[in-house]
Amino acid sequence: MKLWAGRFQKETDSLVNDFNSSVSFDARMYREDIAGSIAHAAMLGKQGIIEEHEAEKIIDGLKAILADIDAGGVEFSDDNEDIHMNIEVMLTNRIGDTGKRLHTARSRNDQVAVDFRLYVKKQIPVIIGMILDLEKVLLKKAEANLETVMPGYTHLQRAQPTTFAHYMMAYANMLKRDVTRFEDCLERMDECPLGAGALATSTYPVDRFQTAGALGFRKPVDNSMDAVSDRDYAIEFLSACSLLMMHLSRFSEEIILWCSWEFKYVELDDAYSTGSSIMPQKKNPDVAELVRGKTGRVYGSLITLLT
């Protein structure tokens, strides 16, 4: 029986179950889900909402599940809809009815909200690190080409002379702005929604500051209704990603033009090019072309979330 099915008299139709299931997508957030549940269980025990020994049993069970998932020894079930219910069912199967006490003073609403925030919060520094790596490459190329003269273009017509270093630094500056946008997003989203319940908190004496601190957030979200409904940070994140992809797409188009026979300004390394199955003279900038193609996916995700 599903965790929410107490008042229902019939099983969910298999077509509805398949259509409603999200575990194929949100399974990637299993670490965040378990981290949120450990923080919640520790708070329940400290506040006396459940017994300390029950909290410890729950936390030990969650850590064991995390280790098993990391080791590839767990298969998630569509019958349990999402990553949250999958883990809770696993926990109850392993430690018995004590596992059911984990959901005390918590809704899937604030659970989903905290998982998603934790996931985005964790990914932003990863993306910033990648951008900085690319900036280092651009700086290295610029330093090596301080006196490499090339034409600058407007309207795809030769306009003024410049240097390859100056061209590289234009993109380095674009990427620098991208870093600051991600940093701004991270600063604004650093608030914890856990403890908001479905939308109006709980009558249990939960300590939202404890769970916020345990999960590495600066503070709890001020308003519980806003806590569970807010996805502004995700839209901001996708907006920053879209601008980043625009810059990468623009740079990729430069590379595609520059390494063509018509321009012949640069030559791509063999390790980052592909060939033709029928034309042996070809050296194709496939990576740059695919970056441009994948840009549309990111734009699409932003528009999808906005609507």
- Residue numbers annotated as active site: 155, 276
Burial (CB count <10 Å: 0-12, 13-18, 19+), residue 26:
buried
CA atoms of 257 and 120, how far apart (whole Å): 35
Rounded to whole angstroms, what are the CA distances from 180 to 17, 119, 169, 187? 42, 19, 17, 10
Residue at token pair 């936390």: 59
CA atoms of 103 and 100, how far apart (whole Å): 6
The strand pairing partners of 219, in sequence order, are 191
What size, in residues, is the chain? Answer: 307
CA atoms of 103 and 112, how far apart (whole Å): 13
How distant is the alpha carbon of residue 33 from its chain centre?
14
Phi (first) and psi of residue 159, to 5 degrees: -115, -70
CA atoms of 243 and 241, how far apart (whole Å): 6
Instruction: Give yes or no for a contact between 265 and 258, defined as CB atoms under 8 angstroms apart.
Output: yes
**Alpha helices, DSSP H, located in the chain:** 14-20, 23-26, 30-46, 52-70, 83-95, 108-144, 164-188, 208-214, 224-229, 232-258, 286-306
State the amino acid at position 71 in one-letter form. A
